[in-house]
Amino acid sequence: MKVRFNRKQLCIPYAAFLILFVILPLLVIIYYAFTNGEGQFTFDNLVAFFSSTNTIGTLIYSFALAITTTLCCLAIAYPTAYILARSGFRKKYVLLLLFIMPMWINFTLRITALKEILTAIEGNIAAYPFINSVIGMTYDFLPFMILPLYTSLLKLDKNLLEAAQDLGANKLRVFMRVTLPLSVPGIISGITMVLLPSMTNYVVLDMLYNSTYIMGSLIGSYFNGFEWHSGSMISLILLVIIFIITLVTNRFSDKDDNGGREVIL
């Protein structure tokens, strides 16, 4: 007897996985977000979120942290990726490896090490919670920014650059008018990969002694206090925000750009 699966049957495990671990939880979140303790339909949770200066403050704080982190990542990653992609180094894969390597180690371990380094530099690290959180998250997410930038810069057609130079553009102009616009998909993809997770990555904040909540810790604290409804509503709001951001950024991204996943490492 020969066992044969057709395509539809092969899909079953994935479909089951998606339904069990993505769609069902999502429905549960939506149900809890719009009900109260007695199970009645209500918008109270939504109203409560937007009428409290605390939750709005947390949202702003999360955004501030995430945007600063993303900008820092971009500022470090772009030159790095540019040099890596454009240089004629024979050993550039080694260099790239050095940047990617931290990704192989669990981030809590890396942040623990970072804590000691920062303590050596700053003395009392609890005095600079915001800066430390940004440093920690930048350290954590930097490879996610470098990889897409590196691939999109690598794909860049050298003939275009030569053509621009032939037409009399100086180096700066070539960069501004050719390289930068063509690397926008990589930038966008890097931003999505850094901005969104850094809004909820509260473990880094905890480990670096930042006692102010961000969205992730806010959700966690509601769940710990058995308040499923408020916690679900905040999760849902966060989900909507993330969805909007992805929708906006998708407009800019290149259809055949794969966000750095093709790098052979």
Partner 1 sequence: MQKYRRALFTGAAVMLAACSTMPFFGCADEEDAITLRVANWEEYIDLGDWGEDELIDIYNPYAQSPEEDGIIGENSLVDDFVEWFNANHDYEVTVEYSTFGTNEDLYNRLSLGDVYDLICPSDYMIEKLMYAGELQPFSQQFLDTADEENYYVNNVSPFIYDVFEDYNDGQGKTWNAYAACYMWGTTGFVYNPEFVTEEDAATFGILNNGDYFKQVTIKDNVRDAYFATLGIIYRDELLNTSDDEIRSRLLNDTGDGTIAAAEDMLKDIKENVYSFETDSGKADMVTGKVLANYQWSGDAVYILDEADGDETNPTELWYSVPDECTNLWFDGWVMLKKGIDGNEKRQEAAEAFINFLSRPDNAVRNMYYIGYTSSIADQTIFDYMDWNYGAVFDPSDEEYFDEEMTEVYEYDLSYFFGDGYSLYVDAAALGLDTQNMQSATEYLGEEYSNDIPYTVYRGGEINRGRQLFGQYPTANVIARSVVMLDFGEKLADINQMWINVRCLDLLDFDPVVVGIVAAVAGTVIIAIVLYCLRYKIFIKKYRPRKGYRMVSGN
- Closer residue to partner 1 (CB): 73 or 118: 118
Instruction: Give the per-residue SS3 of 218-258.
Output: HHHHHHHCCCHHHHHHHHHHHHHHHHHHHHHHHCCCCCCCC
- Closer residue to partner 1 (CB): 22 or 60: 60
Distance in Å, CB of 69 to partner 1, minimum: 16
CB 187, CB 149: distance < 8 Å:
yes
Distance in Å, CB of 77 to partner 1, minimum: 23
Distance in Å, CB of 195 to partner 1, minimum: 16
- Closer residue to partner 1 (CB): 207 or 242: 207
CA distances 221 to 141, 188, 232, Å, are: 24, 32, 12
Distance in Å, CB of 159 to partner 1, minimum: 26
- Closer residue to partner 1 (CB): 71 or 207: 207
Distance in Å, CB of 119 to partner 1, minimum: 7
Element spanning 50, H or E: helix 44-51
CA terminus-to-terminus distance, the chain: 41
Radius of gyration of the chain (CA): 22
Distance in Å, CB of 217 to partner 1, minimum: 7
Residue 35, strand partner residues = 41
Instruction: Give the per-residue SS3 of 198-224.
Output: HCCCHHHHHHCCCCCCCHHHHHHHHHH
Binding site for partner 1 (CB under 8 A): 1, 53-58, 60-61, 119, 124, 126-127, 206-207, 209-213, 217-218, 221-227
Short-list 127, 241, 145, 137, CA closest to 192: 145
Distance in Å, CB of 214 to partner 1, minimum: 9
CB 231, CB 223: distance < 8 Å:
yes
- Closer residue to partner 1 (CB): 227 or 254: 227
- Closer residue to partner 1 (CB): 93 or 209: 209
Specify the length of the chain in residues. Answer: 265
CA distances 189 to 62, 74, 217, 252, 258, Å, are: 20, 11, 26, 9, 9
- Closer residue to partner 1 (CB): 83 or 131: 131
Q: Please, is 87 exposed, middle or buried when counting C-beta atoms within 10 Å of its C-beta (0-12, 13-18, 19+)?
A: exposed
